[in-house]
Structure 1
Amino acid sequence: MADKGSHPSGAAGRAPAADRPTQLRNVVLVGHSGAGKTTLAESLALAAGAVNRAGRVQDGTTVSDHDDIEHRQQRSVQLSLVPLEWDGVKVNLLDTPGYADFVGELRAGLRAADAALFVVSAADGVDGATRMLWDECAAVSMPRAVVVTKLDTARADFDQVVEACREAFGGEDPDAVLPLYLPLHGGAPGHDGEPPVCGLVGLLTERVLDYSSGVREERAPDPVLRPALEEARGRLIEGIIAESEDETLMDRYLGGEAIDVKTLVEDLERAVARGSFHPVLAAAPPVEGSKQGIGTVELLELVTAGFPSPAEREAPPVTTPDGRPRPALACDPEGPLAAEVVKTSGDPYVGRLSLVRVFSGTLRPDAAVHVSGHGLADRGHEDHDVDERVGALSTPFGKHQHPAPKGIAGDIVCVARLGRAETGDTLSAKEQPLLMEAWEMPDPLLPVAVEAHSKADEDKLSQGLARLVAEDPTLRLEQNPDTRQLVLWCMGEAHADVLLERLRTRYGVQVDPVPYRVPLRETFGSAASARGRHVKQSGGHGQFAICEIEVEPLPTGGGFEFVDRVVGGAVPRQFIPSVEKGIRTQLAKGVASGHPVVDVRVTLVDGKAHSVDSSDAAFQTAGALALREAAAQAVIHLLEPVSEVRVLVPDDYVGTVMSDLSARRGRVLGTEPVPSGRLTLVRAEVPEVEISRYAVDLRSLSHGTGRFSREYARHEPMPPQVAARMREQEREAQPAGR
């Protein structure tokens, strides 16, 4: 971190290895889509010698070659691991998608990492979603640094984006977010009239790191740089000293004593490691002929010297699978085995691959392990409590896997042939099974109804969906009993597109999206009486059953009541349950628009039977006919589900969100500020018909900063004009001939 020079220790295509947790750094790249995370990961791999000058490993692929879908969509859609080695330290870079739909992949990266690099575009600045992620990392004291990218683009302004970072990330202490280097401009002006970035100026060492010749050269700064250098250096030194554990350092500095660079660097590294100081670095593409991107060496020095090793971070709490507490885990290769599946993917050649972070012990190929899973029944995930044998271990490099002899505590490896393990499951020793505390996973709130494209697809659909669910814990699979639709609950439209594409290309299953139907209900709005008459004679035994019923509405939540008031044996006792069964069957089918009927009392008051031709089936049919006849004489209300919605948005968007909820026939119940500041919780009751696409709409309203949850509250009558529109839409959606 003190401009020590280049120390690449990898070779293109060779998987790095570590023997001790102190030789490891697990770092997640965080930032909005288009900030340059993947490009930065490739530049760091190039600087470390993991790839050649063309950005490729020995087999010709790049470290970012992972998924054909990513190439087609021109964006990252999944977590990827880029392992490299620098100065004897193995660095596991976890590149995460920046698009909000793939937040599950981001959460997995945060779980597997011990520190975070927030990548901010110099042209676009800090968005609200990145600010919220910063706050989440702060809540768990994760060490963070900022990398300003795209300094070579038009509108790039390093000073301006640093001030934006200080305001967004600094909170009450903006001097905890300060640059370690300033970009150096030189050469012929670019297309925007500004000289390109050709190097950096180190604020602590007061040395220029010049890349303009294609080779990183160190020299003294030009006099013209002195004023800006001294101002920025003074602010940085004060920021470092403010975080120093040496309480005398500030007094010595203010007294005029020159603090040596070594002391400042050591204090800086300690402050970064404990998460109290967040340096800002700059990165730019390599100048022509250079083997290293500008700022990559300095960034690797920060990662290896300033970020903590896994041994310095606490592991997640563990229990036994049945919930009994266990001692806290230590990052010790000789300790009890405890590892977690942070990502699951399917490979057409080797089958299921599990990306595993080892928190304790050592994971070895072909070892017998216990798989424990929390289970997410509402999302289609089963509880896991089984023994398995792991397959080969490997380290990913683009699309290829390099064999790994073992995975020690703190490392991240790929495991083959874990047939039952899913994302979020714990791997532990068979004789000492453990279960790690689950990490927070967002609830998918965008429903996408699908149907199999053909009979062949229908036969393969369940197996393909089971594999998707195992890979993606943000996917919830629902077979709705009311609408009889197969529904994939997704994080957004892009997430849905990727899931359907994977289903088609990876598992050979073609499905067609169909309009999602909200599960509505019907109820009687007035009392009615009716007779059900089922009399047929067709030779031999006929069918004879007559029943008379009275129907009256019950209060909301009253369910269904059946009352027998038959006197004199008009309906024989053995056929009274048949009448009730026929009525229940018709209630499930609906009486007006095909939705189940709820909250009614049906009273059987009279009827007739025949000694030969009456039967169970006849009275079931008569009961159903009587209910349909009563519905024709009564007022039938269409009931819609209403959800209690909780929307968390920055204060700037509260008014917009409340107006939008009101336009959706919502009732705003109140607002309350969130203690962390800058956020407000809006509570409302909104019909589900109006919020089936709210996951997409809220993102647009709040520029990606809003989040919401919803919980079913009740069914209530739909306004007549809305009900009429819904019935018309349902009639139009019915296939011809039905």
Structure 2
Amino acid sequence: MTGKTVSLPRAAALVGPFSSGKTSLLEALLFRAEAIPRQGRIKDGNTVGDASVEARARLMSVEPNLAGVEYLGERWTFIDCPGSVEFQQDTYNVLMAVDAAIVVCEPDPARAVMVAPLLKFLDEHGVPHLLFINKIDSNGTRLRETLEALQGVSDRPLVLREVPIREGEQVTGFIDLVSERAYKYRPGQKSDLIKIPDAIKEEEQLARQEMLEHLADFDDHLMEELLEDITPPQQELYDDLARDLADDLIVPVFFGSAENDGGITRLWKALRHDVPAPTATAARLGFTNGGAATAQVFKTVHAAHTGKLSWARVLRGEFADAQALAGGKVSGLYLPAVGTAAKMTKAGLGDVVGFGRLDNAQTGDVLGGDDQGGTLWPKPLEPLFALALEAEKKGDDVKLSGALTKLAEEDPSYRLEQNAEFGETVLWGQGEIHLLVALERLKSRFGLGVVTHKPTVPYKETIKKPVSVHGRHKKQSGGHGQFGDVHVDIRPQPRGAGFVFEDKIVGGAVPRQYIPAVEDGVVDFLKQGALGFPVVDIAVTLTDGSYHAVDSSDMAFKTAARIAMAEGMPQCDPVLLEPILAVEISVPTDFTSKAQRIITGRRGQILGFDAKEGWAGWDQVSAYLPQAEMGDLIVELRSLTMGVGTFGWRFDHLQELSGRAATQVVDARKESLAKKG
């Protein structure tokens, strides 16, 4: 190999689609490093990763799992990331902080498209990554077809580092394409060195030549050697592989079986010799050499016993416990371990470290430092699914708000919205499971039960014809009475014109000091019109009125205005307005027709589709879609696109809704208002 000795701690993320075997691979890597006495299994609930209640219940990762390990004198932190796209924000944040990613996938060509968004993110951010094709021992493995399918979704060339040795349908070992040595798997032990089988020599030579040609694309000297039929030295190839990986020019490909301990030692060798040092990661994130100690936060956790913990990667210098940082004081430094994190007094370059109780630190923040690095941090993902919720117990509203704020700190793709118009607390996220996990955490961590329902669609109403009405408020009681009298014209405005109030009072029929109170009364009524929804696109003109020198007041004229509006609005032919969103759906081309059917099946209007810029083999479908049809759009879209379809949206316009659909909406609104009293 390269002979390179790297003493700085390194970090690698395990990423890939749901069920590809990332957590099993973490177990295998830890077992091979003798950090655990035996490999745990997902189905047995005894793995190092997926230890939370929510993960065990679903047999899937729902947050990053950190494990520190030492292997052959080198310190490593592995971070097993969620495979579900609903927890993608955590994965993206982790990827920014590690030195390399191990992309785990299955040997199934049909599932290659599931890796596409992940590979795209890695290439856009220049994160070095290699592929580990897992479950190679499953029946019907089609390695070559899988590799071709994966190349179709990768912008970088995939470089096969080994070829399988088979006995019948079973993969029993591999040939390393650089050293040209053959090995036979021995589960639980290092592989045996064997002679290259004659039956596979031709395949090995073809694969090796293909590897050399890929490397020669980035090495002129190697290209000259190949043209002159000179066999390049092994060291040159190892150096090329390490350099090209670090520069994100190639994606080396390995294979094996995580559950059955196949190919794990070979993967460890590649990690040790090819993954770049943390200094390269710091440079990728924009941090220069020298300067003050710097770390970047990639994950925030609110733990029951330790309080807030900010997991960060040290990219420069050294940090100590109890030092002043981020407007606070560090209360404990924690090093990832197998099991409970270990407490430490200092953390240096390359360390993954948990900073205790830094209340002001947020995910993505740069701690310390005196330059502008870290500006490449990914923005929070846009929300795709929402639930309105309220505390089961009265009086827990403040506690609920605080708990939701902490969950959003942990995962910035959660978004909390207070809808004052309908008096709702709305939690947005990336999908149904994403939000269900949030609700479970509210219960398990904070003891908060919640009641949920679909968020209220923000319908509006307007009018179609004008009317002139008279409103009088007269009340006599002991002392001063109340008197206000107004005549108003109500008329529709063009769509989007908003609300206009005018007065055409002459001769002081309504004193000037009371006219703002008339407008206030009109505005107050428009919060809930004749159909029960806020009124838009309407003009109201105060034309006449009368007053009493003693009994008139602001409140009296405000009440008179409300009376006039209450009488006049039902006569104006009120109509319901439905919010329409502009939606951009992104899917692989094979699923474009399905995306279009989803739109038409939800009363949507297709505006067209085109190739998605920068995404080979993907389309973007543009459409108008009623907001009322958006609730579970992401659930259906993912179910029909192997989990990779997604969309962006924005409010575009209001559109009249009539007939039975409008009647149902109005009736439901009246029922809801009646319950609220």
Fold shared by both chains (TM-score > 0.5): yes
- Match for residue 182 of structure 2? 208
- Match for residue 311 of structure 1? 279
Counterparts of residues 159-170 of structure 1 (less than 5 Å): 159-169=144-154
The residue type paired with residue 305 of structure 1 is H
Question: Which residue of 263, 267, 271 corresponds with 2:244?
Answer: 271
- Match for residue 580 of structure 1? 519
Q: Alpha-carbon deviations, 1:467-521, whole Å to 9, x = none?
A: 1122111011111122221111111001100111111111222211122112122
CA distance in 2 between partners of 1:213 and 1:246 (Å): 37
- Change in CA separation of 1:258 and 1:163 when aligned onto 2, cut-off 3 Å: same
> Is the CA contact (8 Å cut-off) linking 1:457 and 1:510 kept in structure 2?
no
Question: Which residue of 499, 510, 516 corresponds with 1:560?
Answer: 499
Task: Using the TM superposition, name which of 702-711 and 61-70 deviates more.
Answer: 61-70
- Match for residue 364 of structure 1? 320
Asked if residue 178 in structure 1 is aligned to residue 136 in structure 2, the reply is: no
Q: CA deviation at 1:661?
A: 2.3
For structure 1, the residue ranges without an aligned partner over 5 or more in a row are 5-19, 187-193, 288-292, 318-327, 372-386
Asked if residue 661 in structure 1 is aligned to residue 661 in structure 2, the reply is: no
Q: Alpha-carbon deviations, 1:71-95, whole Å to 9, x = none?
A: 1221100112222222332222121
TM-score (norm 1): 0.84
- Match for residue 145 of structure 1? 130
Asked if residue 405 in structure 1 is aligned to residue 345 in structure 2, the reply is: yes
Question: Which residue of 291, 300, 308 corresponds with 1:344?
Answer: 300
> Is the CA contact (8 Å cut-off) linking 2:31 and 2:38 kept in structure 1?
yes
CA distance in 2 between partners of 1:112 and 1:706 (Å): 26
Name the SS for the 1:455 alignment partner: coil
Counterparts of residues 432-447 of structure 1 (less than 5 Å): 432=370, 436-437=374-375, 438-447=377-386
The residue type paired with residue 506 of structure 2 is V
CA distance in 1 between partners of 2:110 and 2:337 (Å): 31
Root mean square deviation, CA, Å? 2.8
Q: Alpha-carbon deviations, 1:85-116, whole Å to 9, x = none?
A: 22332222121101010011111121112222
Task: Using the TM superposition, name which of 92-101 and 401-410 deviates more.
Answer: 401-410
Question: Which residue of 620, 640, 643 corresponds with 2:581?
Answer: 643
TM-score (norm 2): 0.91
CA distance in 1 between partners of 2:322 and 2:93 (Å): 25
User: Percent of aligned pairs with the same residue?
Assistant: 33
- Change in CA separation of 1:535 and 1:399 when aligned onto 2, cut-off 3 Å: farther
CA distance in 2 between partners of 1:436 and 1:273 (Å): 19
Name the SS for the 2:313 alignment partner: strand
- Match for residue 632 of structure 1? 570
Counterparts of residues 63-74 of structure 1 (less than 5 Å): 63-64=48-49, 66-74=51-59
- Change in CA separation of 1:497 and 1:625 when aligned onto 2, cut-off 3 Å: same
Q: CA deviation at 1:364?
A: 1.8
Name the SS for the 1:628 alignment partner: helix
- Match for residue 267 of structure 2? 299
> Is the CA contact (8 Å cut-off) linking 1:21 and 1:410 kept in structure 2?
no
- Match for residue 240 of structure 1? 212
- Change in CA separation of 1:247 and 1:608 when aligned onto 2, cut-off 3 Å: closer
CA distance in 1 between partners of 2:187 and 2:429 (Å): 50
CA distance in 2 between partners of 1:670 and 1:166 (Å): 29
> Is the CA contact (8 Å cut-off) linking 1:209 and 1:216 kept in structure 2?
no
Q: CA deviation at 1:599?
A: 1.7
> Is the CA contact (8 Å cut-off) linking 1:43 and 1:296 kept in structure 2?
yes
CA distance in 1 between partners of 2:343 and 2:670 (Å): 59
Name the SS for the 2:239 alignment partner: helix
CA distance in 2 between partners of 1:615 and 1:276 (Å): 77
Asked if residue 715 in structure 1 is aligned to residue 654 in structure 2, the reply is: yes
- Change in CA separation of 1:286 and 1:637 when aligned onto 2, cut-off 3 Å: closer
Asked if residue 690 in structure 1 is aligned to residue 675 in structure 2, the reply is: no
Name the SS for the 2:116 alignment partner: helix
The residue type paired with residue 624 of structure 1 is R
The residue type paired with residue 500 of structure 2 is E
- Change in CA separation of 1:126 and 1:179 when aligned onto 2, cut-off 3 Å: farther
Name the SS for the 2:382 alignment partner: coil
CA distance in 1 between partners of 2:74 and 2:166 (Å): 29
> Is the CA contact (8 Å cut-off) linking 1:520 and 1:641 kept in structure 2?
yes
Question: Which residue of 284, 290, 294 corresponds with 2:257?
Answer: 284
Q: CA deviation at 1:413?
A: 1.0
CA distance in 2 between partners of 1:234 and 1:540 (Å): 105
CA distance in 2 between partners of 1:439 and 1:577 (Å): 48
Question: Which residue of 648, 654, 673 corresponds with 2:611?
Answer: 673
Q: Alpha-carbon deviations, 1:683-719, whole Å to 9, x = none?
A: 2232222223322232223322222211222333234
- Match for residue 34 of structure 1? 19
> Is the CA contact (8 Å cut-off) linking 1:80 and 1:94 kept in structure 2?
yes
- Change in CA separation of 1:737 and 1:43 when aligned onto 2, cut-off 3 Å: closer
> Is the CA contact (8 Å cut-off) linking 1:203 and 1:229 kept in structure 2?
no
> Is the CA contact (8 Å cut-off) linking 1:504 and 1:510 kept in structure 2?
yes
- Match for residue 10 of structure 2? 25
Question: Which residue of 211, 216, 219 corresponds with 2:193?
Answer: 219
